[in-house]
C-alpha cells in the first residue's frame, strides 16, 4: 500500500475497511497518490484538505447507509469543499445547487431551509454524500475526473449495492445517472432526475425528469419504511 493511504485507511470504519480496504492496494491507487503528491509539489492547491479526502466514508459507515447522494467532484473554490457531496462548512455561502436542494426539501417534506449549507446531519443519519472524484484542483472543476478516482468510487458504490440492506440511490444529473446501470433496482430504490443546478432548472420546462418536484426525500423514506428500515431524518437544524 502506498504510504499516503495508510493513515487514510486507518480513519475508516471497520465495515468500510473490510469491504473496500483491498482497493487501496491496487496499482492505480498508488499512481493516484503519486499524481496528487506531484500536483501539490508543483504548487497547486487541491481540495478538499487532505485529511478530508475520505470524509464521506469516515462519517457514514457502510453498515449505516440508508441512502446515497452522488455528486461529481468537490467544490473547487477556497473554503467550500469538506469531503461530502453538495455540502459546505458553516459560514460559507450556500452554493446555488444546494439552495435548490433546500427548496425541494421544503416542498417535499416541509423542512424550512437552514441558514447554512452543512449537510453533516445527513451523513450522520445514514446518507452517504459521495463524489465520484474525491479531489479537485482549485478553480478547475472536473480536473481530477480521470485521475483514477472513478474506479475507487465505483467500488464504493458496488459495496453499497451488494450490501444486505435496501438502500435509496439518489442520482441527480447525467453524470450521476450513468451509475444507474451498476445498481440492482429490484432490491434498491433508484431516484433519478436532473441536476439541482440553476442551469438544469432553467431547462426544467422541457425536461422529462426535472429536479423540482421529484420528491427524492419523501420517496426515500417511504421506500425505507416499506422495507422495515428507519427513515432518514432530513432536518438540517
Which residues are tagged catalytic?
73
CB atoms within 10 A of CB 27: 9
| C-alpha cell at position 126 | 445514514
Residue 70 pairs with which residues in a beta bridge?
130, 171
| C-alpha cell at position 180 | 444507474
Q: Where are the alpha helices (DSSP H) in 3-147?
A: 3-10, 14-20, 27-41, 55-59, 96-109, 120-124
Residue 94 pairs with which residues in a beta bridge?
none
Question: ∠ CA 231-235-237 to the nearest 5 degrees?
Answer: 150
Long-range interactions of 196-200: CB distance < 8 A, separation 24+? 196/97, 196/98, 196/100, 196/101, 196/104, 196/172, 197/96, 197/97, 197/100, 197/173, 198/96, 198/97, 198/100, 200/173
C-alpha to C-alpha distance for 225 and 220, rounded to whole angstroms? 9
C-alpha to C-alpha distance for 68 and 51, rounded to whole angstroms? 22
Amino acid at each position: 500500500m502506498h504510504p499516503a493511504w495508510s493513515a487514510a485507511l486507518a480513519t475508516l470504519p471497520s465495515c468500510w475497511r473490510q469491504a473496500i480496504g483491498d482497493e487501496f492496494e491496487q496499482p492505480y491507487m498508488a499512481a493516484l497518490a503519486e499524481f496528487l503528491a506531484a500536483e501539490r509539489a508543483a504548487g497547486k492547491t487541491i481540495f478538499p484538505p487532505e485529511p478530508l479526502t475520505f470524509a464521506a466514508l469516515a462519517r457514514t459507515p457502510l453498515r449505516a447507509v440508508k441512502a446515497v447522494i452522488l455528486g461529481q467532484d468537490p467544490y473547487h473554490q477556497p473554503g467550500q469543499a469538506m469531503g461530502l457531496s453538495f455540502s459546505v462548512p458553516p459560514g460559507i455561502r450556500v452554493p446555488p445547487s444546494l439552495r435548490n436542494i433546500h427548496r425541494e426539501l421544503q416542498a417535499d417534506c416541509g423542512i424550512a431551509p437552514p441558514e447554512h449549507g452543512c449537510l453533516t446531519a445527513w451523513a450522520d443519519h445514514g446518507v452517504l454524500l459521495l463524489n465520484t472524484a474525491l479531489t479537485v484542483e482549485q478553480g478547475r472543476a472536473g480536473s481530477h475526473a480521470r485521475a483514477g478516482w472513478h474506479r475507487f468510487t465505483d467500488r464504493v458504490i458496488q459495496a453499497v449495492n451488494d450490501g444486505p440492506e435496501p438502500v435509496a440511490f439518489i442520482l441527480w444529473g447525467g453524470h450521476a445517472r450513468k451509475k444507474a446501470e451498476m445498481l440492482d433496482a429490484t432490491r434498491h430504490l433508484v431516484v433519478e432526475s436532473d441536476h439541482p443546478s440553476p442551469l438544469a432548472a432553467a431547462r426544467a420546462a422541457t425536461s422529462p425528469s426535472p429536479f423540482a418536484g421529484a420528491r427524492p426525500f419523501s420517496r426515500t423514506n417511504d421506500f425505507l419504511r416499506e422495507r422495515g428500515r428507519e427513515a432518514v431524518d432530513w432536518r438540517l437544524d
